[in-house]
């Protein structure tokens, strides 16, 4: 992987990019603008943390988090302690929350690094309390209650017991109560209201403790769901958080892959592994330097598309490890030429479009982006 900075109108042309088969352009200013937009949308009652787990959804947490920090973001959320330890030196004054909580034997690494775990179970709470007792001081934590996801978090009975346990609460000193919505991307789903009510009941057990329920899509359910803190991830990176209408978020990612070879096919010739595509008429194919090892799902075979300039070009045959093939029949030779790039994510095809074509969601497209792309960061202070 190579990296570069700057502002470019078209596909990147610097030297690292010249060697690369494909160029991933990541607009840090757009990420910052998306965070500011969400933060303003939930103000003044609520504020936005930034979820930067999985290397900021594949976009490079070491580049994304300083840009958000410079914009004023002071709360970051990751999945694992390892992710937090990488970010800690980059974000001197910020809080970092770890969603998976402490694994046994690693509790004391959290206070040593100045990182706060989310406590998801009575078992984690017991170990956190024991660590606080060993260190002889309260250890702050984020408390997670389950309200309908059946994934992580205390159930209602466990939360009630904890609320009556003053000694444990003093040791684990909760600073935030969180829960997570299962169906926030379906505004009409009855579970959204049910989870809100369950969350309100849980909050009533811990008077004065700030709450956080909404991730990206939850923000758009309305102010009832926004509580004190929101936790957007995907929307920061341009994934559409709303079920219908235009995407309110600015696009963040562009993916341009280079044509290695353009070749003619005769009617009846097969294309790619398994010969799953047959040319019906004489045509032209562009073979492009990106494949499933770069995060182009095999399910895109004979389903995906790219854009050569303004022209939609269908992906034909199976996706190979390092290559995909597009049908460029009828397009001008000066466009469909070796070295030219075909856009896989861009103006005409969003990360959500690519996800749909692959039978998945934009989230999985982003977190599957490969390490071989030349990564070109637009704006943001280089550090």
Instruction: Determine the angle formed by the axes of helices 61-70 and 28-42, rounding to 10 degrees.
Output: 50
Considering only residues 102, 117, 174, 232, which one is a binding residue for ligand PLP as defined by CB under 6 A?
Answer: 232
43, 223 in Cβ contact below 8 A? no
Helix intervals (H) in 44-189: 53-57, 61-70, 81-87, 109-113, 122-135, 156-163, 166-172
- Cβ neighbours of residue 186 closer than 8 Å, sequence gap 6 or more: 192, 243
Tell me the β-bridge partners of 278. Answer: 270
b/e per residue, 110-126, with b = 16+ CB within 10 A? bbeeebbbbbbbeebbe
**Of 41, 53, 69, 307, which residue is the catalytic one?**
53
Continuous segment of H or E residues that includes residue 251: none
- Eight-class DSSP state of 372: -
Stretch that binds ligand PLP, among 24-32, 231-239, 276-284, 366-374 (CB under 6 A): 231-239
358, 297 in Cβ contact below 8 A? yes
Q: Does 233 bind ligand PLP (CB under 6 A)?
A: yes
**What is the Cα 17 distance to its own chain's centre?**
24
**What is the Cα 242 distance to its own chain's centre?**
15
Give least dist CB 216 to ligand PLP, A: 3
The three-state secondary structure class of 334 is coil
Give least dist CB 230 to ligand PLP, A: 9
SS3 content of the chain, % helix, strand, coil (to 5): 35, 25, 45
Nearest to 290 by CA among 1, 6, 18, 22: 22
* 203 is known to lie in a ligand binding site: no
Give least dist CB 211 to ligand PLP, A: 13
* 1 is known to lie in a ligand binding site: no
Q: Which residue lies nearer to ligand PLP by CB, 151 or 312?
A: 151
Give least dist CB 189 to ligand PLP, A: 15
Per-residue binder mask for ligand PLP (CB under 6 A), 16-55, x = binder: -----------------------------------x-x--
Give least dist CB 199 to ligand PLP, A: 13
Q: Which residue lies nearer to ligand PLP by CB, 75 or 372?
A: 75
**41 is a catalytic site residue:** no
- Position closest to ligand PLP via CB: 233
Considering only residues 231, 254, 258, 318, which one is a binding residue for ligand PLP as defined by CB under 6 A?
Answer: 231
Per-residue binder mask for ligand PLP (CB under 6 A), 167-186, x = binder: -------------x------
Distance, CA of 7 to CA of 29 (rounded, Å): 11
Distance, CA of 183 to CA of 189 (rounded, Å): 7
Q: Which residue lies nearer to ligand PLP by CB, 253 or 319?
A: 253
How many residues bind ligand PLP, per CB under 6 A?
11
Considering only residues 42, 68, 98, 99, which one is a binding residue for ligand PLP as defined by CB under 6 A?
Answer: 99
**Number of Cβ within a 10 Å radius of residue 357:** 17
Q: Does 75 bind ligand PLP (CB under 6 A)?
A: no
Stretch that binds ligand PLP, among 129-137, 230-238, 299-307, 322-330 (CB under 6 A): 230-238
Distance, CA of 184 to CA of 217 (rounded, Å): 5
Considering only residues 24, 215, 340, 365, which one is a binding residue for ligand PLP as defined by CB under 6 A?
Answer: 215
**Of 69, 273, 307, 363, which residue is the catalytic one?**
273
How would you classify residue 235: left for phi > 0, otherwise alpha for psi between -120 and 50, otherwise beta?
Answer: alpha
Q: Does 234 bind ligand PLP (CB under 6 A)?
A: yes
Q: Which residue lies nearer to ligand PLP by CB, 152 or 323?
A: 152
**Residue list, annotated binding site for substrate:** 151, 321
Active site residues: 53, 273
Which residues form the interface with ligand PLP (CB under 6 A)? 51, 53, 99, 180, 215-216, 231-235
């Amino acid at each position: 992987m190579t990296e570069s900075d700057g502002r470019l109108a078209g596909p990147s042309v610097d030297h690292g990019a010249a060697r690369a088969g494909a160029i991933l352009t990541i607009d840090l200013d757009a990420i910052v603008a998306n965070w500011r937009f969400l933060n303003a949308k939930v103000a003044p009652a609520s504020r936005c943390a930034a979820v930067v787990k999985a290397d900021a959804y594949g976009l490079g947490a070491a580049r994304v988090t300083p840009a958000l920090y410079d914009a004023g973001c002071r709360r970051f959320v990751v999945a694992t302690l390892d992710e937090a330890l990488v970010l800690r030196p980059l974000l001197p004054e910020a809080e970092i929350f770890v969603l998976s909580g402490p694994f046994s034997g690693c509790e004391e690494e959290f206070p040593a690094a100045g990182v706060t775990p989310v406590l998801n179970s009575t078992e984690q709470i017991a170990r956190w309390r024991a660590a606080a007792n060993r260190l002889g001081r309260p250890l702050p934590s984020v408390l997670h209650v389950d309200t309908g996801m059946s994934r992580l978090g205390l159930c209602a009975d466990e939360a009630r017991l904890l609320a009556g346990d003053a000694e444990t609460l003093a040791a684990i000193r909760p600073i935030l109560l969180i829960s997570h919505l299962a169906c926030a991307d379906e505004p009409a789903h009855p579970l959204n209201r049910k989870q809100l009510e369950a969350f309100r009941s849980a909050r009533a057990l811990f008077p004065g403790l700030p709450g956080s329920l909404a991730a990206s899509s939850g923000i758009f359910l309305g102010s009832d769901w926004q509580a004190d803190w929101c936790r957007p991830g995907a929307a920061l990176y341009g994934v559409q958080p709303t079920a219908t209408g235009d995407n309110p978020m600015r696009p963040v990612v562009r993916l341009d892959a280079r044509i290695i070879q353009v070749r003619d096919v005769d009617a009846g010739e097969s294309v790619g592994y398994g010969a799953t595509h047959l040319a019906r008429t004489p045509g032209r194919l562009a073979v492009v330097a990106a494949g499933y090892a770069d995060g182009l799902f095999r399910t895109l075979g004979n389903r995906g598309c790219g854009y050569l300039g303004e022209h939609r070009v269908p992906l034909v045959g199976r996706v190979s490890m390092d290559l995909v093939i597009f049908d460029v029949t009828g397009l001008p030779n000066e466009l469909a030429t070796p070295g030219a790039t075909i856009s896989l994510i861009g103006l005409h095809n969003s990360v959500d479009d690519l996800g749909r074509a692959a039978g998945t969601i934009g989230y999985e497209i982003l977190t599957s982006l490969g390490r071989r792309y030349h990564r070109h960061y637009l704006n943001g202070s280089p550090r």
